[in-house]
Structure 1
Amino acid sequence: MAEDDGLAIRIRGLHKRFGQKVAVDGIDLDVPSGSFYGLVGPNGAGKTTTLSMATGLLRPDAGEVLIHGVDMWKDPLATKAMVGVLSDGVRLFDRLTGQQLVEYAGLLSGMDRPTAQQRTHDLLQLLDLESAGGTLVVDYSAGMTKKIALAAAMVHAPRVLMLDEPFESVDPVSAANIRDILRTYVDGGGTVVVSSHVMDLVERMCDHVAVITAGRVVAAGSVDDVRAGSTLEDRFVALVGGRRVGEGPEWLRHS
């Protein structure tokens, strides 16, 4: 497939089953090059499984993932070189220091040590982790761990960043800094796909969004198109369902 189709990611017919549980049920998704793409859905909707298959961490039962026109499973080395991944819940090499972890990620990507060291220094400075660069990652807070994982995902200057819940456990100042960094990355021609439960954040940050529920895409397109004149949160609830309106049990009332 030609790269000039304008898509950073093209997903067709993606399926994944775990035993009797169908986690992803025939997802099709087009992520335009240079977009800031939000992936939203309730818990258990299949977002993490979809991202894992799109980044080569999990083999699909069926379907196709193309990264800038290159098939993820036919040429995994070429595609993975174009992708930076921050996976929610995946263990890091936390007995390394932050500096060692990011530098190691750079070396694994094939860059020479001086380049990896310089880029590591730049990223630690950018993410306000300079003072923690010599500290073991196992001793980092949850927010610091998220930031050092982001640095490791970015050190090889990928064309596409896929980030699973990148703002979870991150303080508001760090979250604002990360948003600025990602916006600069997109403005420079990169593509970001981010999954999040925070609708307001996605609405402010992303230009495209897909809503996933029960392993299927129920809406996708520009943020304006998907929210259809409403807020993204209200549109999300309407698409996904499950909202319960009521006063709650009597024993919870104190007046």
Structure 2
Amino acid sequence: MTTPALSIRGVRRTFGAKVAVDDVDLTIDAGTFTGLLGPNGAGKSTLIACTVGLDRPDAGTAEVFGRDVWDEPDEARRLMGVLPDNLALPEYLSGRELLGHWGRLHGLDAAEVDSRADSLLRVLELDGSAERTLVLDYSTGMRKKIGIAVALIHRPRLLVLDEPFEAVDPLSAIAIRRILQSFVASGGSVVMSSHSMLLVESLCDVVSILVSGQLVLDEPMAQIRQRGTLEEVFIEAAGQPQDHTHDELSWLA
């Protein structure tokens, strides 16, 4: 049997009385593109943080290609690239300096780091003056793009991305889509959280839905399409939104 790209078992995370992630079990097969959906506050970002080693869960385990994220952190992190929520970056490095620093942390020699940085900066339209600009002065979309470059430069086998398209301009979004599709086509695995069902429906071959910290659906996209649109299946899994518009906002009419 092929080792899963990511195996999450019994992950639970609480903040005081609030249960953010409630005993989640999830397996991400190698070579798949999984979309993680859920309402605001469903626990997506918390689950990602617990999965990649940024936040220790109260219970449960996460393994990247069989490497325990907490017991074997160095080995696990070499295998994955991460774009977390509210990404904190060294503010007083330029984009190129940041990629160079990160590549060397992963043991790449200077020539290889420069070559990979050249490619990433060019494809993500961060070359030229942008690559010399301090991260401090990057827009939100530029920070997302350099964060994706950081996640990719060491050539991981698994990408875990939290809202990678947020605030990204349309042309850069097309470039990122092509990067991710090529990554999966070459054998990589992607887990991506998003609030865009159209994006998930067009890119992903598996969809997982979290509601109130619980995994309520984990199905191949092909199976979902047999039941309806992704939006219809999402509403079925997450619950119909309440419609108070007519009564509560009647003053707008």
Q: Is the Cα contact below 8 Å between 1:153 and 1:161 reproduced in 2?
A: yes
- Give runs of aligned pairs for residues 235-250 of structure 1, distance below 5 A: 235-246=233-244, 247-248=246-247, 249-250=249-250
RMSD across aligned C-alpha pairs, in angstroms?
Answer: 1.3
Q: In 2, Cα distance between the equivalents of 1:11 and 1:195? A: 16
> What letter matches 2:51 in structure 1?
A
Q: In 1, Cα distance between the equivalents of 2:56 and 2:240? A: 31
**Structure 1: segments with no counterpart, 5+ residues:** none
Using structure 1 for the length normalisation, give the TM-score: 0.94
- Give runs of aligned pairs for residues 9-158 of structure 1, distance below 5 A: 9-131=6-128, 132-158=130-156
Could you list the per-position Cα deviations for residues 44-69 of structure 1 after superposition, in whole angstroms to 9, with x for gaps in the alignment?
A: 11100111111111111111111111
Could you list the per-position Cα deviations for residues 181-206 of structure 1 after superposition, in whole angstroms to 9, with x for gaps in the alignment?
A: 11001101110110000001000010
Q: Is the Cα contact below 8 Å between 1:38 and 1:209 reproduced in 2?
A: yes
How many residues align structurally? 250
Percent identity of paired positions between Structure 1 and Structure 2: 44
**Structure 2: segments with no counterpart, 5+ residues:** none
Using structure 2 for the length normalisation, give the TM-score: 0.95
Q: Report deviation, 1:225.
A: 2.3
Q: In 1, Cα distance between the equivalents of 2:98 and 2:16? A: 35
Identify if the C-alpha distance between structure 1 residues 50 and 227 changes in structure 2 by more than 3 Å, giving closer, same or farther.
Answer: farther
Aligned to 2:188: 190
Identify if the C-alpha distance between structure 1 residues 166 and 57 changes in structure 2 by more than 3 Å, giving closer, same or farther.
Answer: same
Aligned to 1:204: 202
SS at match of 2:142: helix
Q: Report deviation, 1:242.
A: 4.8
Q: In 1, Cα distance between the equivalents of 2:243 and 2:127? A: 48
Q: Is the Cα contact below 8 Å between 1:45 and 1:215 reproduced in 2?
A: yes
> What letter matches 1:237 in structure 2?
I
- Give runs of aligned pairs for residues 208-219 of structure 1, distance below 5 A: 208-219=206-217
